[in-house]
Amino acid sequence: MRHGDKLNNLGRKTAHRKSMLANMASSLILHKRIATTVAKAKALRMYVEPLLTKSKDDSTHSRRTVFAYLKSKEAVDMLFKDISTKIADRPGGYTRILKTGARLGDNADMCLIELVDYNENMLAAKAPVKAKASRRGAKKKATEGTAEKSTGKASKKDESTDNISFGNGTTETQSTSIKGKNDAKSE
């Protein structure tokens, strides 16, 4: 019975699972982002976040503890030199899981797991978005534009258009001109 067992075994025996998570953790530390399945990413997050917390205290004991998990000198060096300074003020939540869809072969849920402080796209200061200016007065309907070309001096105020629809699905546009000040001056 598995009462209270919260560990995802990932379909592997203990030694295989531990070495796989150690390799994935060192790859995540070295490359800052890796692509994997969602289940492995969630297991990796539980594995690597305590190691990132231990890296905040740069002592011989914490280096040896982390090395026992990662089994890679390069990953330990990068973790304690570069990454620990960037995450020093962050109180947890060092990784982000971004779902990317299903894998083609077996339809497994895929994702990217990345270190939060190393995503340049999300860290870049976004420029403030300006509201688009309204251009209601500048646009004219296509039917009014053709009517203006034919009459020459008719303005938007002086002309109204009526759409007449027939039973067979066709529509005809009829424009009527209203005589006003502008037309009287032009005549």
Residue 25 has pLDDT above 70, yes or no: yes
Query: What pTM was computed for the model?
Result: 0.65
| The total number of structural domains that make up the chain | 2
% residues pLDDT > 90 (the chain): 60
In a domain, 2, yes or no: no
Give the Cα separation of 113 and 122 in Å (integer).
Answer: 14
Residue type present at position 96: R
Q: What is the pLDDT of residue 81?
A: 95
pLDDT in tens, 75-85: 999 999 999 99
171 in the same domain as 105: no
Three-class DSSP labels, 9-48: CCCCCHHHHHHHHHHHHHHHHHHCEEEEEHHHHHHHHHHH
pLDDT at 13: 97
32 burial type by CB count under 10 A (0-12 exposed, 13-18 middle, 19+ buried): middle
pLDDT digits 0-9 by tens, 87-144? 999 999 999 999 999 999 999 999 999 999 998 777 775 545 666 777 776 655 555 5
pLDDT at position 162 is 65
Same domain, 57 and 101: yes
- Residue 55: CATH number of its domain: 3.90.1030.10
Do 76 and 40 share a structural domain? yes
User: Does one domain contain both 152 and 111?
Assistant: no
Task: State which residues form the domain around 20.
Answer: 14-122
Cβ atoms of 9 and 39 within 8 Å: the answer is: no
- Claim to verify: residue 105 and residue 39 sit in the same structural domain: yes
| Residues 77, 154 within the same domain | no
Residues 22 and 113 placed together within one structural domain of the fold? yes
Residues 30 and 66 in one domain: yes
Half-sphere exposure of 82 (CA within 13 A, CB side): 12
Whether residue 4 is contained in a domain is answered as: no
pLDDT given for residue 121 in this prediction: 79
Residue 47 has a pLDDT of 97
Higher-confidence position of 3 and 159: 3
